[in-house]
Amino acid sequence: MTNAYDVAHFLAGMMLVCSFTLLYQDRILAVLNTFAVQAIMLSLAVAWQGYVRNAPDLFITAAMAFGLKGIIIPVALNRMVEKLGIKRGVDQVVNVGVAMFLGLGLTSLALLLVLKVTPGAASFTREGLALALAIILLGLLQMILRRNAVTQIVGFMSIENGLILAATGARGMPLVVEVSVAFSVLIALFVFAVFLFRIRERFDSVDVESLDKVRAARAHR
């Protein structure tokens, strides 16, 4: 069993590494690739869970993660970026050092919190959950730090990766929930695409700075 834990921890750990990379990576293409790697790590982690626990329904979840988030979504986003001619550089609000430091802080917070409140749970569930929470918090941080609509949405998708990791880490979560979650992610992506085109059409840019100007203009209404 210890080997099983090692592999599971390795895969979840790799996802966390991807989350950190997403924090500082400043080119859109690289951000999309990193996200694809994270999604593939997620699908491997889920498949490994399915194999170890002998739960075949997890393979469906893994296949969905691999197909949708590992391939289709990154490719679709990639084409969207090309079609819209979005500039390749991504500006950062705070510098890399500060972002890493905040990320480390959030990760240790997640570990301390989850490990403290779940002494009763099975040992893998605890650590999987802690890593998942860290990934979720890093995704939130990415959404706050980034000013570009595409990278904000990648932040959201990596939050969703963390949620799926948490859901499969909790043993025996019903498949119907996972399927509906995957479905709603798809809808969310559609919503995002609609907005990306509309924002682009209005502002000639997908930099959310241009939205901030609208916000400032009506701050006191």
Partner 1 sequence: MNEAVYAVFGIPFLSALLLALIPSYRLTALGNVLASGLTFAAGLSFLTLPPVTETYVILDDLNKFFIILNTLVGFTTSLFSRSYIGHEIATGHLTPLFVRFYHAMFQGMMGAMNLALLANNIGLMWVGLEFATLMTVIMVGIYRTPAALEAAWKYFILGIVGISLAFFGTILVYLAGQGVLGEGEAAMTWSELIKIAPQLDAPLLNIAFIFLLVGYGTKVGLAPLHAWLPDAHAEGPTPISAVLSGLLLNVALFALLRFKMLIAANPNALAPGPILITMGLVSLIFAAFMLYQRQDIKRLFAYSSIEHMGLITFAFGLGGPLLNFAALLHMVMHSLTKSAIFFAVGHVTQAKGTQELSAIRGLSVSNPVLAFALAAGVIAISGLPPFGAFMSEFLIITATFAREPLLALAVAFGLLIALGALLMRLQDILFGEPTTPNHPVSAASAPIFVHLSLILIAGMFLPPAIVVWFRRAAEMLG
What tokens appear for 32 in the block?
Answer: 């999309």
Amino acid, single-letter form, for residue 187: I
Q: With CB under 8 A as the contact rule, which of the stretches 42-50, 63-71, 79-87, 198-206 interacts with partner 1?
A: 198-206
Any contact of residue 159 with partner 1 (CB under 8 A)? yes
What tokens appear for 165 in the block?
Answer: 């990791």
Q: For residue 100, count other CB atoms closer than 10 A to its CB.
A: 13
Any contact of residue 112 with partner 1 (CB under 8 A)? no
**Complex with partner 1: residue 81 or 133, whichever CB lies closer:** 133
Binding residues with partner 1: total (CB under 8 A): 50
Any contact of residue 193 with partner 1 (CB under 8 A)? no
d(CA 218, CA 183): 36
d(CA 155, CA 173): 24
**List 35, 173, 207, 209, residue binding partner 1 (CB under 8 A):** 173
Any contact of residue 177 with partner 1 (CB under 8 A)? yes
- Residue that the structure tokens 């989850």 belong to: 114
Any contact of residue 202 with partner 1 (CB under 8 A)? yes
Any contact of residue 220 with partner 1 (CB under 8 A)? yes
Nearest distance, CB of residue 14 and partner 1, angstroms = 21
Q: With CB under 8 A as the contact rule, which of the stretches 20-28, 32-40, 61-69, 172-180 interacts with partner 1?
A: 172-180
- What's the residue count for the chain? 221
Any contact of residue 199 with partner 1 (CB under 8 A)? yes
Q: For residue 199, count other CB atoms closer than 10 A to its CB.
A: 18
Any contact of residue 221 with partner 1 (CB under 8 A)? yes
Q: Is residue 13 a contact partner of residue 38, using CB atoms and an 8 Å limit?
A: no
Any contact of residue 109 with partner 1 (CB under 8 A)? no
Q: In degrees, to the nearest 5, what angle opens at C-alpha 39 toward C-alphas 59 and 100? A: 140
**Complex with partner 1: residue 35 or 156, whichever CB lies closer:** 156
Q: In degrees, to the nearest 5, what angle opens at C-alpha 37 toward C-alphas 12 and 10? A: 25
**List 72, 109, 112, 117, residue binding partner 1 (CB under 8 A):** 117
